[in-house]
Amino acid sequence: MSTILIASGLLAFIGTVFFTGVYRTAAIKQGIIDTPDHRSSHTQPTPTGGGVVAVITILALWLVGHFVGLLTTKETIALVMPGALIALVGFLDDRKPLAKRWRFGAQIISAITVIALLYPLPALPIWGEFALNLNHWPLPFVALAMVWLINLYNFMDGIDGLAGSEAVTVLGAVAIILALAGNTNLAILLALTAVPMLGFLVWNWPPAKIFMGDACSTFLGLSFGTLAFITSKDAQITPWVWVIMLSAFWVDATYTLVVRMVTGQDWRSPHRTHLYQKLARSKQDHVKATLLYVGFSLAIATVTAYVTLAQSKLPLFPALITLAISVHFCTRFRAGLTPKN
C-alpha cells in the first residue's frame, strides 16, 4: 500500500504542475483571462481557472484512497460525486458566467447529497458531556453552513496564493493532528489531498501566473465541510478542529458580509474590503498578506492540536478565543468598510 501511495503522491504533484502549465497555455489561446478592474487586487491580465487541474487530481487520489482502504465506499461517493458537480459548475462559470440560480442550486444539491450519504452526522461537543445532535432540527442549518463554506472560500480567493496556501496549511495541520490522535489512514488521505494544491501553488504563488478559478475554490469549500464530517466520525477529533483551522477564512468572509449589510452597502456586489484585501494593499505585497494568514493558521494549529490531544472538556473555548482574535483583526483593519464609511 505504501508504494502505491508514495507513487500516487509523486505523480499527483508532477502531473498537477505539468498539466496546469498546459492548461495555462490553452487558456491564453482561448482568452480565458481575468482582466483587472477597480475592485481587483491584481494589476495584470492573468489566465484563470487553472485550479481545475488540481481538482481532477484530487478526485483521482480519493479514488486511489478508496482502492487501498483509506475511505469507505460511502465516504468516497460523498467526496467525489458532489465535488465533481460543484467543480463542473464552477468550471463552466469560469468560462462564461452562469445565472445565480444554477450555481446556488448546485451548491444546495451538493450539500444535501453529502449530508444524506454521511448520515448520521457526528455530534458537536459543547461543554463537558453535553453535545449538540446535528441529526435533527440542526440539519437545515448544517446544509446552509456548507453552502456558505462553498461561497466564502470562493470569496477568499482574491489574492495570489492565498486560497491554495490556506488549503495546504489546513490539510497538513489536520493530517498531523489525526496522525497524533492515532488515525493514520485519514491522516494519509489529507496529506495526499494537499499534494495537488502544492503543485498548483508552483503557478499560483505571487506573482501568480494563473488564477485558481471558481472550479477549485468552490470545490475546496465543499470538500472541507465533507472532510470535517468524515474525520470526526470516530470522535478522535471533532468538527471544532476544522472550525478553528478555517477561522481565518470564515471569520473574514462572514464579518465582512455582516458589516456591509449593517452599513447599508450593496452586499451582493463585488468589492475589495475583506481583511485579506486590505492587508495586501497596506503591505503592497500579496506574499506578505498570504504569509500572515498562513502564520495565523499555523499558530492556531498548535493550540488545536494540544486541545484535541488533551481531550479537553471545553472544546468550544478555543474556538471562541480564535473567533475573538480574528474579529479583533477584522475590526482593526475596518473589514467591510470603505473610506466613505
Q: In this predicted model, what pLDDT tens digit does every residue of 5-32 receive, in sequence order?
A: 999 999 999 999 999 999 999 999 999 9
Q: Is residue 150 part of a domain?
A: yes
Got the DSSP string for 130-195? EEE-TTSTTHHHHHHHHHHHHHHHHHT--STTHHHHHHHHHHHHHHHHHHHHT-HHHHHHHHHHHH
What's the number of domains the chain is made of?
1
Question: Is residue 130 domain-resident?
Answer: yes
pLDDT at 314: 65
pLDDT of residue 284: 73
Residue numbers in the known binding site are 154, 214
Q: Grade residue 40 by pLDDT with cuts at 50, 70 and 90.
A: low
Residue 341 falls within a domain, yes or no? no
Q: Is residue 338 part of a domain?
A: no
Of the candidates 158, 156, 340, the one whose C-alpha atom is nearest the C-alpha of residue 266 is 340
Domain range for residue 7? 2-332
Residues forming the annotated binding site for Mg(2+)?
A: 154, 214
pLDDT one-digit tens code per residue, 249-276: 999 999 999 999 999 999 888 899 999 9
Give pTM, 2 decimals. Answer: 0.95
Is residue 294 included in any domain, yes or no?
A: yes
Residue 267 lies in a domain: yes
Could you tell me if residue 292 is inside a domain? yes
Specify the 3-state DSSP secondary structure of 231.
helix
In a domain, 337, yes or no: no
Calpha distance 178→48 (Å, rounded):
34
Report the mean per-residue pLDDT for the chain. 92
Residue with cell 468516497: 76
